[in-house]
Amino acid sequence: MFSLQNKKAVITGGGSGIGKAIAVLFAQQGAEVHVVELTAASAADAVAEISTSGNKVFAHACNVVNQQEVLATFTQIGKLDILVNNAGIAHVGKADTTPETDFDRIINVNVKGVYNCLYAAIPQLRISGGGIILNMASIAALVGLPDRFVYSTAKGAVMAMTLSVARDYMAENIRCNSISPARVHTPFVDGFIAKNYPGNEAEMFDKLSKSQPIGRMARPEEIAALALYLCSDEASFITGCDYPIDGGFVKLNN
């Protein structure tokens, strides 16, 4: 079950964190993996880990904000079966503390970047006779999180795009779903804590972990396992759905 043999998968932001875990797992399941990152160096660790196991992997340096770069990258990749729109950046701030430059930057990467990849990938999915698109949303689109104004805005847009794409391309055998993680223990989280809470890293890590009812953060590999299911043939009846993977945060955190 959950084989991706003879499938070609593109994972944006696949060089670290959740994206890397997805890239590694998809390769283990037989997919030819294409890691799209801002620079080749950003993809190096994922490529090295996948290559060591003898699986096919390719790195592509591409800024998802630039449509021409995205189109050129997807043309080079050619027909594909799976797109995972994972590339994104975080932000902390309220509506009146978010500068316009920050607002534009987050929307460009987290919304326009997803649109650019959809725009470039759908014609390549058609060549394959259909396929799967998986967008990385967030629980920030489902509940009110403090100090996450523009990030929540962007992830809400990703969730809406998921529904639109699922509806528009259903007849072309293209499925589209999204995943909404809660807090996941990635290098970004460690860096965020070190930058904003110097000297109190352990205390803040424990506090952030316990904000999930289950009492800990998710591991990237747990998000990857859900991604694998949704991109496999076993999930062929699923489209237009969002899947919170949140340790009980949305429903139980009251």
Catalytic entry in 115, 119, 151, 229? 151
The pTM for the full model equals 0.95
Question: Which residue is listed with tokens 């309220």?
Answer: 94
Assess contact for 111 and 158: CB atoms under 8 A. Answer: yes
> Would you list the domain boundaries of the chain?
8-183+219-252
Query: Which pLDDT tens digit goes with each residue over 8-30?
Result: 999 999 999 999 999 999 999 99
* Contact between 11 and 241 (Cβ < 8 Å): no
Which architecture does CATH list for 8-183+219-252?
3-Layer(aba) Sandwich (3.40)
User: Which of the two residues, 54 and 35, has the higher pLDDT score?
Assistant: 35
- Mean per-residue pLDDT for 209-216? 93
pLDDT tens digits for range 88-141: 999 989 999 999 999 999 999 999 999 999 999 999 999 999 999 999 999 999
Confidence of residue 191 (pLDDT cuts 50, 70, 90): confident
Q: CB of 11 within 8 A of CB of 19? A: yes
- Does the structure show a pLDDT above 80 at 237? yes
* pLDDT tens readout for residues 151-173: 999 999 999 999 999 999 999 99
Residue 253 pLDDT > 80? no
What pLDDT score was predicted for residue 254? 60
Between the alpha carbon of residue 20 and those of residues 10, 82, 185, the distances in Å are 12, 15, 13
**Is the CB of residue 201 less than 8 Å from the CB of residue 104?**
no
- CA 168 remoteness from chain centre: 21
* Lowest-pLDDT choice from 48-62, 102-116, 230-244: 48-62
Q: What are the strands, taking DSSP E only, across 52-130?
A: 57-61, 82-85
What are the φ and ψ backbone dihedral angles of 175, each rounded to 5 degrees? -95, 150
Is 151 catalytic? The answer is yes
Q: Average of pLDDT values for 36-53?
A: 93
Inform me whether the pLDDT recorded for 234 exceeds 70: yes
For residue 189, name the pLDDT band (cuts at 50, 70, 90).
confident
Which pLDDT value is given to residue 187?
A: 85
What's the Rg (C-alpha) of the chain? 18
Span between the terminal Cα atoms of the chain, in Å:
37
The whole-angstrom separation of Cα 69 and Cα 55 is 26
